[in-house]
Structure 1
Amino acid sequence: MDHAAVLALYDREMRECARPESSDARIERSGGVVRHIGGDGGWSGVLWSGLDADDADAAIAEQIARFAGLGHEFEWKLYGHDRPADLGQRLTAAGFVPDQEETLMVGETSGQIADVAPPEGVRIVPVTDRAGVELMVEANEKAFGRDGSWLRALLLARLASADSQEFVALVALAGDVPVSSARMELVPGVAFAGLWGGGTVDGWRGRGIYRALIAHRARIAAERGYRYLQVDASGQSRPILERLGFAALSTTTPYVHAPDVTRERHAPAGPR
């Protein structure tokens, strides 16, 4: 993999030329900034910026004013290679609060489609209805130790939308008990399928469920023509992904404009 070339492609397809995440969302471009205006309950934030030291502060002020006028809390998704180099410091000075840094990792889809099965007694099933949504929310809450109301709302909205084929949700069941879950975003016309939300319940970790969920999604992505898999990896998942051949291309940090906002980190061009 040519890391620089793949990162440039990612920036172009998934950030600068991003598409709205849903039919009631929209993309706005103003100067050197691309922002996503979420629909009802959707994600709002800055996806891409091409700024320098001379125009960065003015661009930051413009985004604050724009989202304040809409009544939206929002996130500036800052990547480690974004410019100017002190953009994070400028965001903090303007009132943004940085969340946890993660690593942008990309792997070749073809390298992840091996026939990897979950451990004995565990099966992976698609989430296609409200009952499946509740199982996925239960797994997510137990894995991450936080309220899953946002995930329930997201899943129900996506399953009911006209673009539901651009979204894959999976839950791993041990018997009838949910023990892990994961999602995938499939934006049409791009090279990257986004892997999101992989989390396994304590007591089931280290048994290969995470790997099986990656392989399961990779097979779907390959069938639909996606060359790459993209993950915003936590410190816990990065070593696993590196062993599977994923490459670290940059870092990503969500800067939230409202200290009381707690959101999951999202992908560009389909932030959820």
Structure 2
Amino acid sequence: MDHAAVLALFDRDLREGARPDGPGARVERTGRVVRQTAPRHGWNGVVWSALDDTDADAAIAGQIAHFTGLGRGFEWKLYGHDLPVDLGQRLVASGFTPGPEETLMVGEIDELLLGAGQAVLPEGVRVVPVTDRAGVDLMAEVHEKAFHADASWLRHRLSARLAAEPGTVVAVVALAGREPVSAARMELVPGTRFAGLWGGGTVEAWRGRGVYRALVAHRARVAAERGCRYLQVDASGQSRPVLERLGFVPLGTTTPYAYVP
């Protein structure tokens, strides 16, 4: 993989050329910033910018004014190669709070299928598609147990997307009997060769048994069937080693900077 070329393609197609990620959302370019404005339960934030020392502070102030004028908190999704180099410091000075740094990882699907295609689920575990509210509730249950965090946003956002745009999201739950033990989703971006892996989590008692790996393999097969070439993921420190063994490569870092009015 030509890392620089793939990173440039990622920036062009998924950031500067971002598409709305759910019903009711809109993506717009204002100056040298691309942002998404969504309903309250959707994702609101900045996905791309091309700033420098002369316009960064004004651009930050402009985005704060836009989202707070709507009564929205929002996120500025900052990548390690974004300019100016002190953009993160400028965001903090303007009232943003940085979240945990993650690794931007991309894998070519053909290579991933070689690495993960033979993944085997533990005995008694099966993967089922999520297509309705009952399935979304199972995903939310896994999310809350795996990440110890509220999943009400997931219930609202995923239910709305499955109802309005079912062809752009693939969601799955791994069940041990009737117990949900792992869950994940994949978001497809029409008009690009990319699909994004999101929300992969496994409850603690089932970690280290190949379930997460199997869900990556499942989604890679679906992405290949849909004509995608690359899978992209923002990897935590916990998932990065697993993804590297499957064939993903790190292309940089990404950090969410949150602004709460």
The two structures share one fold, judged by TM-score above 0.5:
yes
Q: Sort the TM-score into its range (normalised by shorter chain).
A: over 0.9
Farther off after superposition, 110-119 or 48-57: 110-119
Task: Report the counterpart of residue 133 of structure 1 in structure 2.
Answer: 136
* Conservation of the 8 A alpha-carbon contact between 2:22 and 2:160: no
Farther off after superposition, 145-154 or 186-195: 145-154
Percent identical residues: 69
**What SS class does the counterpart of residue 203 from structure 1 fall into?**
helix
Provide the C-alpha distance between the structure 1 equivalents of 2:38 and 2:122, rounded to a whole number of angstroms.
Answer: 38
C-alpha RMSD over aligned residues = 1.1
Q: How does 1:210-221 map to 2 (within 5 A)?
A: 210-221=212-223
Residue 169 of structure 1 pairs with residue 171 of structure 2: yes
Task: Report the counterpart of residue 190 of structure 1 in structure 2.
Answer: 192
**What SS class does the counterpart of residue 205 from structure 2 fall into?**
coil
1:16 is aligned with what amino acid? E
Count of residue correspondences:
258
Task: Report the counterpart of residue 270 of structure 1 in structure 2.
Answer: none
**What SS class does the counterpart of residue 255 from structure 1 fall into?**
strand
- TM-score in terms of structure 2 length: 0.96
Residue 251 of structure 1 pairs with residue 257 of structure 2: no
Displacement after TM superposition at 1:16 (Å): 0.2
Residue 39 of structure 1 pairs with residue 33 of structure 2: no
- TM-score in terms of structure 1 length: 0.92
Provide the C-alpha distance between the structure 1 equivalents of 2:138 and 2:74, rounded to a whole number of angstroms.
Answer: 29
Provide the C-alpha distance between the structure 1 equivalents of 2:220 and 2:32, rounded to a whole number of angstroms.
Answer: 34
Displacement after TM superposition at 1:40 (Å): 4.5
**Could you give the per-residue CA deviations for residues 9-48 of structure 1, whole angstroms, max 9, x where no partner exists?**
0000000011111231111111110010113521110000
**What SS class does the counterpart of residue 231 from structure 2 fall into?**
strand
**Going by fraction, where is helix more abundant, 1 or 2?**
2
* Conservation of the 8 A alpha-carbon contact between 2:80 and 2:253: yes
1:220 is aligned with what amino acid? V
Provide the C-alpha distance between the structure 2 equivalents of 1:203 and 1:111, rounded to a whole number of angstroms.
Answer: 30
Task: Report the counterpart of residue 180 of structure 1 in structure 2.
Answer: 182
Q: How does 1:103-182 map to 2 (within 5 A)?
A: 103-113=103-113, 114-161=117-164, 163-182=165-184
Please list every run of 5 or more consecutive structure 2 residues that lacks an aligned counterpart in the other structure: none
Residue 24 of structure 1 pairs with residue 21 of structure 2: no
Task: Report the counterpart of residue 77 of structure 1 in structure 2.
Answer: 77
**What SS class does the counterpart of residue 62 from structure 1 fall into?**
helix
**Could you give the per-residue CA deviations for residues 176-203 of structure 1, whole angstroms, max 9, x where no partner exists?**
1100000000010111100001100111
Displacement after TM superposition at 1:112 (Å): 2.2
* Conservation of the 8 A alpha-carbon contact between 1:22 and 1:39: no
* Conservation of the 8 A alpha-carbon contact between 1:104 and 1:230: yes
